[in-house]
Amino acid sequence: MFAIPTLPGYPARLLPLRLIPTLSRPPWGGQRLAALGKGEGKIGESWEVWRENVVQGDGRVFGEVADFPLLVKLLDTSERLSVQVHPNAVQARALAGAPHGKAEAWVVLEAEPGARIAYGLNRELSELELRERAESGEIEDDLVWIEPRPGDVIDVPPGTIHAIGPGLFLYEVQEPIDLTWRLYDWGRGRDLHLTQACAVAVRTPLPPPWREPVRVSDRVVRLIEGPHFVVERVALPLQRQGWEAITVLHGQAEAAGVAAGPGQTLVLPPGLWQLQGEGEALAARPR
């Protein structure tokens, strides 16, 4: 399904890769990513696996080397993110000319006491009502707030109205596109995308977002399996089948001499790999 290009200097079978993360510094970023050595100051997002990331020790961007159809991030929040929504593939093509939509899921790594996430509406609204209440700020009264705990797995399919609150450290996997439509931004003055957001939003209450993990073996727990990706929590060492992004939670992972420590990500190309080390990691693969 995922072709490996034979570029000059690259063998037909790639070795495991480390990518230089792309860092985002929005106003809501925190200090956890700096503590992991990602950079200095407040950082909101570390895009661990992204087609525009540079391959460590090589200089090419990842998208020139191979086509890995996921975006893997780490998020750290010190303030509320905007109330936002993402489209599905049909909506993305129709409204933005984009090649696909944006389904995503989160694994909660840390949650401070009282940390919350807005997930859907507490009552049904028409498209016009949703727009009017977003413009007036009354949408704050329409949101359902949940209190996540470390280890929780939250599915965020396209159309879900959501907002991440402060005090959270999340692992996120999504389709590889930066396509977010803001519905409300808590008065911060950033641009909104009301026409698009109201057109694609699910305007009825949603079922609970939690996904129950499934134990696959004594070393593998499947956290979520959707139409675009699978995420598993794995104990090291073990054998893995690429394509896969391995994000280390604690300890160290190593494959074919390429290593990653806490908060770092190792990309395993297609093939069977002995993943050495100790500790735990999150493994994301495309479907």
Q: Which residues carry out catalysis? A: 182
In terms of Cα–Cα distance, which of 213, 228, 238, 212 is closest to 284? 228
The CA distance from 276 to 24, in Å, is 31
Kindly tell me the sign of the dihedral angle through the C-alpha atoms of 66, 265, 216, 76.
Answer: negative
The CA distance from 129 to 124, in Å, is 9
Torsions phi, psi of 137, nearest 5? 90, -5
The CA distance from 169 to 79, in Å, is 12
Within the chain, residue ranges assigned H as helices are 32-35, 62-65, 89-96, 127-136, 194-200
For residue 181, give both structure tokens. 């439509």
The CA distance from 49 to 66, in Å, is 12
For residue 204, give both structure tokens. 């009825």
Kindly tell me the sign of the dihedral angle through the C-alpha atoms of 238, 154, 43, 20.
Answer: positive
